[in-house]
Amino acid sequence: MSSNLGQITMDNASNNNTLMVVIEEELTRRDIPFDHNGNHQQTLATDPVGQCCGIVSACHSSGQHRHRLQAVIQEGNSNGFWRGKLFDGKTMLPVVQLLRDCITRWSSTFNMVDRVLTLNPAIQSFLLETQNADISDLSMDTKDIDVLRDIHQVIEVPHVAQELLSSERAPTLSMALPAYEVLKGQWTQLQSTIWELSHYIGVGLDKLQQYINEGRKTCIYALSMIINPSIKLEWLKEHWEAEDIENAREWILQAVHLFFSACCR
């Protein structure tokens, strides 16, 4: 059995780290290669995003729930109850509704998580009320909120990139690959600082790199960047491989040749 042992999936509890060290020592004693870090795939002990969905669904399930949450927010604003309890140092909460996640809408997961974090003090007060005992199990403890803030920080990066590409009225094709490169750099940095989510960030980075690699093979991206005065060929020289840069150079020369050939007819 021990010779067939590969990866072990566990949550992030510290005693599991100790267990991995013990397993490594035992397998090393049996001359079986095993690394307590390399063979340990960590998973989240809970699903904070799923908990957010549960909270939003519960609050949207009835008009009474929606109205009572609004009342809790307003009451706390009026009597100063939120003072010292808000993450951003403010003293009042915005009187807004929770937002649903929607798989067909850009950034809807980020917007849902962002709103839950913003209203979290009111949500917890609301869930602890006697009349809400049937949904009190949806309450999130401090650890859950800390993990949710980390997730929020990770998914905020592509949200900002998406907002950048969709906010301009002018064509933004030339900004797509530069935005992906910025996204890649920021995710790589977060991967080293939020180690609990490093595996999940790595999955996103792998998919993002696939998009970047495919984009470099498409002449329209290169042409749109080269004719953009703020990007041009210099940006490609700084961020692309030599082979990709040479392909881009050939594409622009071909495009210019075709343009002048058409003008001379």
Across the chain, mean pLDDT equals 85
Tally of CB atoms within 10 A around 240: 20
Q: Are 228 and 174 in contact (CB under 8 A)?
A: yes
The pLDDT of residue 46 is above 90: no
Length of the chain: 265
Residue scoring higher pLDDT (255 or 6):
255
User: pLDDT tens, 76-90?
Assistant: 999 999 988 887 778
- pLDDT, position 78: 93
Helix axis angle for 108-127 and 48-60, nearest 10°, is 70
User: pLDDT tens, 173-211?
Assistant: 888 899 999 999 999 999 999 988 998 999 999 999 999
Q: Are 190 and 153 in contact (CB under 8 A)?
A: yes
Task: Give the tokens for residue 72.
Answer: 């809790």
For 214-221, what is the mean pLDDT? 87
Q: What is the Cα–Cα distance from 168 to 171, expressed in whole angstroms?
A: 7
Q: 73: burial class by Cβ within 10 Å (0-12, 13-18, 19+)? A: buried
